[in-house]
Amino acid sequence: MRIDVLSIFPNMFAPMRESIIGKTVERGLVDFNVVDFRDYTNNRHNNVDDVVYGGGQGMLLTPQPIFDAMDHVKESAGDFGRVILLDPAGKPFNQKMAEELAQEEHLTFIAGHYEGYDERIRTLVTDEISLGDFVLTGGELGAMVVIDATVRLLEDALGDDMSAVDDSFSTGLLEYPQYTRPADFRGMLVPDVLMSGHHGNIAIWRKKESLRRTYLRRPDLLEHYNFTKEERQLLREVVDEEASHDSEN
């Protein structure tokens, strides 16, 4: 996969050279490039923003340097690929979108700053993405989050293909609790079933606890979840157990 990012703060992307993302770059799974679109300005002060027509607060990113930087990307890569604009008005990002983006061969991100974008910049864009109902100082952090969530889904990125499959949201549920040694830490014990060696019972326990965590923390996810018959029974048990626990307290 090739990833290009347009930003006037390229140094902010240093973390992309670390951890899992950095390893995918080292191993050739990802070709990661940051393009400073300030380098493509055609004014003597290298300004990338200007005042708003019609009046208003703040400054807008002008189209010229971004369009020219995109021309550079196309010349270098042969295309733009999927072009993603980080914007508060975009579609909220989720795991399903990350899985979809992970199927692409080329992603280009436009990380803006200041008050916003000249509307003509949106003609370059295939997707507008938001991290949620809040505003950041720029699109760089948003781009890094989307890139991280996407790249870790690439084949061989994690070293264990099942790691991403079991993630929260990938299954539609939150991930079950997990433990490591020691079995007894300050009186907090690892559930016996996990040390039993009985893989069938362990799988049932994990599914039930995944349903429990989702029921307690994100019940909205269950509204559209496609339950199996076994999962519906496990959820009924969870609901009864939690109701009994509440009544005892």
Q: CATH number of the domain that 134 lies in?
A: 3.40.1280.10
Same domain for 122 and 63? yes
Looking at residue 159, what is its pLDDT? 67
Distances (CA, A) of 162 to 1, 94, 154, 159, 218: 20, 19, 12, 9, 23
Question: Is residue 113 located within the same domain as residue 72?
Answer: yes
202 with 151, same domain: the answer is no
- Residue 132 among known ligand-binding residues: yes
Q: How many domains does the chain have?
A: 2
Measured in degrees and rounded to the nearest 5, phi and psi for residue 192 equal: -55, -35
Q: Are residues 35 and 124 in the same domain?
A: yes
Q: Which residues are catalytic?
A: 88, 115, 152, 167
Q: Are 115 and 52 in contact (CB under 8 A)?
A: yes
The whole-number mean pLDDT for each consecutive block of 10 residues of the chain, a chain of 249 residues, reads: 97 92 94 97 93 87 97 96 93 96 98 87 96 91 97 86 57 91 94 96 96 96 95 97 89
Nearest to 98 by CA among 77, 123, 129: 129
Question: CA neighbours within 13 Å on the CB side: how many for 213?
Answer: 14
Distance CA 100, CA 113 (A): 26
Instruction: Look up the CATH number of the domain holding residue 231.
Output: 1.10.1270.20
Q: Is 135 annotated as a binding residue?
A: yes
What is the identity of the amino acid at 27?
R
pTM of the model: 0.84
Is position 166 within any domain? no
134 annotated to bind ligand:
yes
Same domain, 28 and 110: yes
Residues 91 and 135 in one domain: yes
Both tokens assigned to 153:
């889904």
Kindly state whether residues 193 and 114 are assigned to the same domain: no
The DSSP string of 172-195 is SSPPPP---S-SEETTEEPPGGGG
Confirm or deny that 131 is annotated as ligand binding.
yes
Domain that holds residue 79: 2-161
Note whether residue 76 is domain-resident: yes
Residues 154 and 196 in one domain: no
